[in-house]
């Protein structure tokens, strides 16, 4: 199996050109179950029609090379991180220790953001 076809996680897609984002960053969940659970808990967007699509390493890497930002949950980042390091991305180590405030209007989702081709080692 080619390393480019490694499943990193899942994204929530509302239409061909609309996905669940944290700001401008596409959110990658570590599992289909986590994506569905988040959508069910989020009253603002949970009622919209959506589908859950697989997020492959090759596709994410191509997006990052073109400057697209991604936000990973812990499970997805733990899959993405070692593979990304192997292809030359300079990334922060996984750190999901920050505790979100308890008074948020929607469910909290600890994420780690990766953006831009500037992360590649020369």
Residue ranges per structural domain of the chain = 3-92+109-119
User: Would you give per-residue pLDDT tens digits along the chain (122 residues)?
Assistant: 455 489 999 999 999 899 999 889 999 999 999 999 999 888 777 678 999 999 999 999 999 988 899 999 999 999 999 999 999 888 878 877 776 667 655 556 777 778 765 455 54
The Cα 8–Cα 106 span in angstroms is: 25
pTM value surpassing 0.75: yes
String of b and e for 22-42 (b: at least 16 CB within 10 Å)?
eeebbbbbbeeebbbebbeeb
> 94 exposed, middle or buried (CB, 10 Å; 0-12, 13-18, 19+)?
middle
């Amino acid at each position: 199996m080619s390393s480019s076809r490694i499943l990193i996680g899942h994204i929530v897609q509302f239409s061909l050109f609309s996905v669940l984002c944290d700001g401008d960053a596409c959110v990658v969940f570590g599992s289909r179950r986590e994506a569905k659970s988040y959508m069910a808990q989020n009253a603002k967007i949970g009622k919209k029609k959506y589908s859950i699509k697989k997020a492959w390493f090759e596709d994410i890497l191509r997006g990052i090379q073109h400057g697209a930002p991604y936000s990973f949950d812990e499970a997805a980042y733990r899959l993405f991180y070692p593979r990304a390091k192997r292809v030359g991305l300079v990334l922060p180590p996984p750190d999901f220790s920050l505790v979100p405030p308890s008074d948020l209007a929607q469910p909290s989702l600890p994420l780690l953001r990766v953006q831009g081709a500037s992360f590649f080692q020369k």
